[in-house]
Structure 1
Amino acid sequence: MSFKIAIIGAGSVGFTKKLFTDILCVPEFKDIEFALTDISEHNLGMIKAILDRIVEANKLPTRVTATTDRRKALEGARYVISCVRVGGLEAYADDIRIPLKYGIDQCVGDTICAGGILYGQRNIPVILDFCKDIRAVAETDAKFLNYANPMAMNTWAAIEYGKVDTVGLCHGVQHGAEQIAEVLGAKSPKELDYVCSGINHQTWFIELRLNGRPIGKDELIAAFEAHPVYSKQEKLRIDVLKRFGVYSTESNGHLSEYLPWYRKRPDEITRWIDMSDWIHGETGGYLRYSTETRNWFETEYPQFLEAASKPIDPAKRSNEHASHILEALETNRVYRGHFNVKNNGVITNLPQDAIIESPGFVDRFGINMAAGITLPEACAATCISSINVQRMSVHAAIAGDIDLLKLAVLHDPLVGAVSTPEEVWQMVDEMVVAQAAWLPQYANAVPAAKERLSKSRVKTREWAGAARRSVRSIEELRAEKAALKQAG
C-alpha cells in the first residue's frame, strides 16, 4: 500500500515517534509517506532526524518529509493527524496562573474549566484553518484524526464548522481498563471486556466482565480499596465510584477539575489528591510535567536519537487508536475501540449535537458506532453539564463573542463552585488580553477588555495553589531517574 499521512504539530516529538512506530508495525504500511508539519523548524528538525534514523535502522522504504508549510504537507494526504498545542507552554502557563488569582485550582486545565475553555478558544480558529486546507488539497474524503485537547471542542468545531470527516482519539479508556484489570487480578487486560461510554475525560465503565463473569459495584470498590497503590492515588475516583456506582476513565487529577465538589476549597483539594505523581491532582501538574519533559528532551536529545536506531518491535505497538484505525480502514481487519464522534443517537440520554466518546468498530466501511447506549442518570447529568459548557465555548470561539465566552466559563462546574460572576467576568477579560496573540477572533474585544481591567475593583490574590510543585532542573531529573533505576 502507498498513501500519505500528514501529522500537524509533529514537533510533539515523543508522541509523533509513538504514532510513527505504531503505524509501521502494520506490515502493509511500509511504503507510505509521512509528511510532518509544525510552526517550529527546530522541533521539526529534531523529530525528522529521529524518524529518519528509525527508517534507516529498519531498512524501510518509508518516506519522511518535513515542512513548516502546512498546506504543502497536506497535499494528497489520505489521513491527517493533529497533536497541536496552540500557544505552546507560554499560553498554557496563563491557563493555570490567571485562574489561580481567582481561586480556581486546576490540575491539567486542558478540557473544560477556565484553562480548557480558553485553550479551546485558541485551538478552534486553527482547527478550522486545518479543515479548510484539508478540503482544498488533501485526498477527497480524507479523514482527520484529532488527538489535541480540548478533545470535544476541537472535534465539535471540525465536524460542525470545518465540514471534514473527523474522529477524536484519546487513551483514557485504555488506561482505565488496565487499572481495573489489575485490581481484579487479571493476568492480562485482554481478560477484561467492557462497555465504556460518555464524553471525553468523563467516560464511564458501565459494564464490566472479567473472563465472561460480570463485575459489580461492590466487588470493584473492594478491589480498588485493597490495592496498595491505587487506594492512595485514586481516592477521588474511588469516592465517585462509590457514589455513582461506576468507575470513571479519567485520572484522579483530571476528574477532580470536571466536577464542582472536590477542588472548591484548598483543604478539600489536599484531602482528595495524591502527590506521588502530577496526574493524581497536583496544582498545575501537567504544566510542570510538560515543561520538564520538553527541557529533558532538549538536553538529552542525543540519547533519543541513539534509541531510534533500535529495530521496531511489533509486540510493543501501543494501544493508541490511530494505527489500529488505519489498519482496519485499509486492510479490513476489524478493530474495536472508543471514539469521539457526534452523538446522533449513539447515547440515548445525551444531547444529539454533543461529541461523545463511546464504543465503535472500524472496517473498510468506516467507523461504525454501537448505538442505543443509556448512561446511568448521575453520569448523564455530569456529562450534560460539561456538554453545555462545551457548546457555548465552541459557539463563542466561532463568533468571537466575549459575552458568550464569559457565560461558558460562568457555567463551568468548578468555576461556578469557586467564583462569583464579577470574578468570572474580570478573569475572562484578563485571560483574553493575556492571550490576545492567539485569539484573532477576539481582536475587536481586547481594547474594551483592557479598559474594563483598568477600572476593575474585583480583588485577586497571588496564590500558587493548594498543591503546587516547582519545575525540576535537569540535574534533579537525572538524580531521580538514577535513584529509580537503582531501586528497580
Structure 2
Amino acid sequence: MSKFKLTFIGAGSIGFTRGLLRDLLAVSEFREIEVAFHDINAENLKMVTELCQRDIRENGLSIRIDATTDRREALQGARYVINTIRVGGLEAFATDVDIPLKYGVDQCVGDTLCAGGIMYGQRGIAEMMNICRDIRECAAEDVLLLNYANPMAMLTWACNKYGGVRTVGLCHGVQGGHSQIAEAFGLKQEEVDIICAGINHQTWYISIRHNGEDLTGKLLEAFESHEDFSRTEKVRIDMLRRFGYYSTESNGHLSEYVPWYRKRPEEIGEWIDLGSWINGETGGYLRVCTEGRNWFEKDFPNWMKEAPLMYESEKRSHEHGSYIIEALETGRVYRGHFNMVNNGVIANLPADAIIEAPGYVDRNGISMPLVGELPLGPAAVCNASISVQRLAVEAAVHGDDKLLRQAFMMDPLVGAVCNPKEIWQMVDEMLEAQEAWLPQYGAAIAASKKRLAEEPLLPTRDYAGAARLKVKTVEEMQLDRDAANRNAGESDKGKERAKAVEAN
C-alpha cells in the first residue's frame, strides 16, 4: 500500500472532485491514503464532502476526508495537490462574458484566451501565487501540483516561473479529439495512434496512424463526410482545411482563439451550431456552469439518495491526474499529454512557454520526449497565443495594467473586433468590475474608476451576442434530471454533445 496525502484545492467543484477522487481510489494501492478537501465556500465544501465520504464508505474504505476552509491546514504534508479553483466564481465569470459583448467581442467560453481568458488569468494568478506560497511552506518537499484550472497555460506558467512549485497542467482536450478522429474513420480509439503537440486548447494532431498507415492527410475528407461533425465542427474543419492539421479544442473554444470566425456578428451563425453549447453558443459555458451549480444546490438531497460511485478500475475517467500519481507511486508506465515548460520539446515554440505534448510517467518522474518542430502554420497560430499568454502572466504577477492592455491588444479576436481606444475602455470596465479579485491592481483600478467617471466615454452596445440562449430554471431542468445530473457532475461539460441542429 502507498501512503501519502492528497489535497484538493477548490474541492467544492463537484464535477472534478468527485470524479478525480473515484479515479484515484480505484487504484488498489491507494486504499489507505490521506485526503484533504479545501474550499472557501463552506456550504459547497460540506455538500461535496458528504457525497464523497458516502462514496468512500459504500466502497468499503476507511479513509476519512479532512475538509477545511483553512488552506494551510489542508496542505500540511501533502505530496500531491490538485487545483480546480475558479477565482471569482460565476459572478466574475459573467463579467468576463458580458463586458466584452458591449464592445462586440462575442465569446463562447472565455476561460483560456480572448478578453475573458485574460481576465480570468489575472484573478487566478493572483490567488495561485498565494496558494504556491502555502504549498512551499506547508506541503511535502517533493510536492507536485496538478493544475486543472483555466486558463491552463497562464496559471501553469506563473506557478512554475514565479510560484516556486513544480506544476503540471492537465486537460482532457487531447482525449476528446482523439475519440472524434477515430469515429470519423470508423475505428475504435485504441486503434488510432496519435502524436499531438502545441499549447493547451491549441494542440495539433500532427501524426495519425492506424496499423502503420499514415491517415493524417485523409482526415479532412473523413470529417467533411461525417454526418455530425460536418455540421458541429465547422471552425475546426476549416482550420484543418487551411492549416492541414486538426486542433484539439471544440468548435466553440477554437472560434474565439483566432481572429476569423467571430469578428462579424452576421457571420457567426455560419460557423457554429446550437445543438450543444460547446459548438459555439454565445456565453455557452457560463450558461451550463450556472445551470450545473443551481441544479446541484437544489437537488443535492437527491444525490445523497442515488447510487454511489463505485471505485472500479474500468470506471476510471480519462482525466490524467490519477494515472500520473499511480505511475509515480507504483512505477506503472503511463503515457499522456501534459502541460509543461517547453525547454526545447517543441523546437519552434519559445523555451519558456507552457506547451502541451506527449509525456511518459514512471517512478523516475514525468519525461517529455522531443517533438521537434511543429508545422509552420500551427506553430504560427500557437505563437500568437503565446505572446498574449506571456503578457498576461507578467501583467498578473506584477500588477502592470499596461502589459494587461497590451495582452488585450495582441489577442487575436479582441484585436480583430476592437480599436485601441475601445480596448483601453474595456479594460477599465473589467478592472473596475473585478476589483474584489484583483488585489495587485489597486492603483490601476483607482485610475480606471476615475476615467470612467470623469472622461467622455466611447459608445458601447446593448448586445446579447449572436447566439445566446437563456439559462434554464431548476424547474425546466427537472424535466430531464439525468441530463441535469450529468451536467452538474461532469468535469468535462462538453463530453456528451447533442446532435446538431442548424444555427439560425
User: What code does the residue aligned with 1:93 have?
Assistant: A
Q: CA offset at residue 457 of structure 1?
A: 2.7
Q: Aligned pair 1:438/2:421, yes or no?
A: no
Whole-angstrom distance in 1 between the partners of 2:41 and 2:442: 24
Within 5 Å, which residues of 2 pair with 1:20-419?
A: 20-186=21-187, 188-217=188-217, 219-307=218-306, 309-419=308-418
Q: CA offset at residue 212 of structure 1?
A: 2.7
Unaligned segments of structure 1, at least 5 residues: none
Structure 1 vs Structure 2 CA RMSD: 1.6
Q: 2:459 maps to what in 1?
A: 459
Retained in 2: the 8 A contact 1:329–1:362?
yes
User: What code does the residue aligned with 1:421 have?
Assistant: P
Percent of aligned positions with the same letter in both sequences? Answer: 58
Distance 1:484 1:306, change over 3 A: closer
Q: 1:468 maps to what in 2?
A: 468
Retained in 2: the 8 A contact 1:176–1:250?
yes
Retained in 2: the 8 A contact 1:194–1:209?
yes
User: What code does the residue aligned with 1:234 have?
Assistant: E
Per-residue Cα deviation, 1:78-105 (whole angstroms, up to 9, x for no partner):
0001000000000000000000000000
User: What code does the residue aligned with 1:302 have?
Assistant: P
* Number of aligned positions between the proteins: 485
Retained in 2: the 8 A contact 1:109–1:116?
yes
Retained in 1: the 8 A contact 2:478–2:484?
no
Retained in 2: the 8 A contact 1:53–1:309?
yes
User: What code does the residue aligned with 2:279 have?
Assistant: H
The TM-score with structure 2 as length reference comes to 0.94
Whole-angstrom distance in 2 between the partners of 1:37 and 1:350: 36
Retained in 2: the 8 A contact 1:53–1:308?
no
Q: CA offset at residue 280 of structure 1?
A: 0.4
Q: CA offset at residue 61 of structure 1?
A: 2.5
Deviates more, 1:474-483 or 1:284-293: 474-483
Whole-angstrom distance in 2 between the partners of 1:311 and 1:151: 29
Q: CA offset at residue 305 of structure 1?
A: 1.9
Partner of 2:146: helix, strand, or coil?
A: strand
Dislocated runs of 4+, deviation >6 Å: 482-485
Whole-angstrom distance in 1 between the partners of 2:264 and 2:75: 47
Unaligned segments of structure 2, at least 5 residues: 486-497, 500-504
Whole-angstrom distance in 2 between the partners of 1:7 and 1:409: 32
Q: CA offset at residue 310 of structure 1?
A: 4.8
Q: 2:447 maps to what in 1?
A: 448
User: What code does the residue aligned with 2:342 have?
Assistant: N
Q: CA offset at residue 479 of structure 1?
A: 2.1
Whole-angstrom distance in 1 between the partners of 2:406 and 2:195: 34
User: What code does the residue aligned with 1:395 have?
Assistant: E
Partner of 2:163: helix, strand, or coil?
A: coil
Whole-angstrom distance in 1 between the partners of 2:64 and 2:29: 14
Whole-angstrom distance in 1 between the partners of 2:484 and 2:416: 39
Whole-angstrom distance in 2 between the partners of 1:257 and 1:288: 17
Partner of 1:337: helix, strand, or coil?
A: strand
Whole-angstrom distance in 2 between the partners of 1:216 and 1:358: 17
Q: CA offset at residue 353 of structure 1?
A: 0.7
Q: CA offset at residue 183 of structure 1?
A: 1.1
Q: CA offset at residue 404 of structure 1?
A: 1.2
Retained in 2: the 8 A contact 1:341–1:356?
yes
Per-residue Cα deviation, 1:101-122 (whole angstroms, up to 9, x for no partner):
0000000000010000000000
Whole-angstrom distance in 1 between the partners of 2:312 and 2:299: 23
User: What code does the residue aligned with 2:322 have?
Assistant: S
Whole-angstrom distance in 1 between the partners of 2:193 and 2:376: 22
Partner of 2:65: helix, strand, or coil?
A: strand
Partner of 1:10: helix, strand, or coil?
A: coil
Retained in 2: the 8 A contact 1:5–1:81?
yes
Q: CA offset at residue 480 of structure 1?
A: 4.3
Retained in 2: the 8 A contact 1:324–1:335?
yes
Whole-angstrom distance in 1 between the partners of 2:186 and 2:86: 38
Whole-angstrom distance in 2 between the partners of 1:88 and 1:334: 36
Whole-angstrom distance in 2 between the partners of 1:328 and 1:483: 34
Deviates more, 1:405-414 or 1:55-64: 55-64
Whole-angstrom distance in 2 between the partners of 1:483 and 1:149: 24
Per-residue Cα deviation, 1:49-71 (whole angstroms, up to 9, x for no partner):
01110111011122311000000
Whole-angstrom distance in 1 between the partners of 2:48 and 2:483: 29
Distance 1:52 1:264, change over 3 A: same
Retained in 1: the 8 A contact 2:6–2:80?
yes
Retained in 2: the 8 A contact 1:50–1:308?
no
Whole-angstrom distance in 2 between the partners of 1:212 and 1:300: 50
Q: CA offset at residue 313 of structure 1?
A: 2.8
